[in-house]
Amino acid sequence: MPERIERGLWPHPALKFSDVVRHLAQVLESETWFPREWKPAIPGESIWEGGVIERKAQWIYKLVDKINLA
């Protein structure tokens, strides 16, 4: 962290919500999965934490998380 402060990289400027939404929309329009492809849990192996979004078709998305495994 001290190096980042010395280089003027911390604290970073606040992100604008509109910029984040615009970027996420672009990613969802161009990729099938965000932030990564969903992989089902395998007994005895580590699981991926968090959820993913799958683009099924234009304007149709499916959220998959460790609770919603449908």
pLDDT score, position 66: 62
Query: Is 16 inside a domain boundary?
Result: yes
- Pseudo-torsion of CA 37, 50, 20, 17, nearest 10°? 160
Residue 70 resides in a domain? no
Evaluate whether 18 touches 26 at the Cβ level (below 8 Å). no
Q: pLDDT digits over 4-59, tens only? A: 889 988 888 899 999 999 998 999 889 998 988 888 888 888 887 788 888 888 77
With a cut of 60, say whether residue 68 has pLDDT above it: no
The CA–CA distances, whole Å, from 69 to 8, 9, 38, 65 equal 43, 39, 10, 6
Q: Is the pLDDT of residue 69 over 50?
A: no
Q: Identify the domain containing residue 8 by its residue range.
A: 2-38+47-64
Domain count, the chain: 1
Phi, psi of 19 (to 5 degrees): -70, -40
